[in-house]
Structure formats: structure tokens, C-alpha cells
């Protein structure tokens, strides 16, 4: 398996870089691309769902982005130590009926020596919002560098 920089042990700067790379990948909404950041046998807990390995990650993300339309995500560092990073995040999306949501959560990540994630635990809560309450208005894809982050938005 090829190394995925930055590698642990993380510093504050490399943890922030790793988080932004993950955010950028998730904002592509491309399950195959996102799955490359995880080991073949990666273990996830995502809400009440348990996912094992890249094939299940791809299936999970395919289902996710079929339901969560116009998905836009921001991640932010919470803490780091060695090969682990704690992240808080919020994303906005809507369902096929046009109901908008802002989903808030925390993730705990663990990486192997090659900088590939082996464990991901995610806790997520969904808040229904009006379309007029949306804060993420950039074109689909990577969040622009000048777009406010979670702390800037008061999330």
C-alpha cells in the first residue's frame, strides 16, 4: 500500500493538512476516490452502522450521496496525538424532497505508519434547516480557501 502523506506522528500543522485532504476528498462525493484514504480492512462506526473494509465503504458512500444531495462539508481539528486525530465537522445537504439539513459530528481517526486510516468512529446529529439558513454556498467540490471554517461560522 502506498504511503499517503502527511504521515504520523502528526504535528498540529500535519494534522490540519490531513483533515483538509480528507475534507477535499469527501467534497468530491466520489466513493472510490474517498475509499483510497482507508485501508482494505478499515473499520468504521458511522452513527449506528458498522462498516468493514473498502468495498463496504464504497457501498456506504454510494448510498449516502444518493440520499444526501448537494452535499458540502467542512472539517476542523479538535485534537491529535501520535497516529490519531479527533475531528469535528458539519455538512449541509438536502433530500429528494428538498428538505435541507445541517449535520454536525465528531470523528476519531487512527492511521497506520503509511498514513492510511485504519479506524474511523463517527457520531453525527442532523438538524433540519430552511434553505435560507444554509451557510455553505460554494460550487460543488472543494471548499474555497477563503470560505469560513466551522469556528468562523460559529458552528
Exposure of 48 by Cβ count < 10 A (0-12 exposed, 13-18 middle, 19+ buried)? Answer: exposed
The CATH number that domain 12-135+146-153 falls under is 3.10.450.50
The 10s digit of each residue's pLDDT in 6-23 is: 999 999 999 999 999 999
Query: Is residue 1 predicted with pLDDT exceeding 90?
Result: no
The 10s digit of each residue's pLDDT in 121-153 is: 999 999 999 999 999 999 999 999 999 999 999
- CA-based torsion, 123, 34, 30, 59: positive or negative: negative
pLDDT at residue 124, rounded to an integer: 98
Enumerate the H helices of the chain as residue ranges. 12-28, 31-35, 53-67, 150-153
The 10s digit of each residue's pLDDT in 71-80 is: 999 999 999 9
Sequence-ordered strand ranges (E) for the chain: 38-46, 49-52, 69-81, 84-94, 100-111, 117-129
Whole-number Å distance between alpha carbons of 74 and 92: 9
Residue 126 neighbours by CB under 8 Å, 6+ apart = 101, 102, 103
Amino acid at each position: 500500500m502506498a504511503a499517503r502523506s502527511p504521515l504520523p506522528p502528526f504535528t498540529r500543522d500535519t494534522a490540519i493538512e490531513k483533515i483538509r485532504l480528507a475534507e477535499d476528498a469527501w467534497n468530491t462525493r466520489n466513493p472510490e476516490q474517498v475509499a483510497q484514504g482507508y485501508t482494505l480492512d478499515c473499520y468504521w462506526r458511522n452513527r449506528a452502522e458498522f462498516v468493514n473494509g473498502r468495498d463496504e465503504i464504497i457501498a456506504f458512500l454510494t448510498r449516502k450521496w444518493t440520499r444526501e444531495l448537494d452535499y458540502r462539508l467542512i472539517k476542523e481539528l479538535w485534537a491529535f496525538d501520535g497516529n490519531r486525530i479527533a475531528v469535528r465537522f458539519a455538512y449541509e445537504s438536502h433530500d429528494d424532497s428538498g428538505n435541507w439539513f445541517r449535520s454536525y459530528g465528531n470523528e476519531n481517526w487512527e492511521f497506520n505508519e503509511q498514513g492510511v486510516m485504519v479506524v474511523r468512529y463517527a457520531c453525527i446529529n442532523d438538524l433540519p434547516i430552511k434553505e435560507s439558513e444554509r451557510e455553505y454556498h460554494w460550487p460543488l467540490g472543494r471548499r474555497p480557501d477563503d470560505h469560513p471554517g466551522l469556528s468562523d461560522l460559529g458552528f
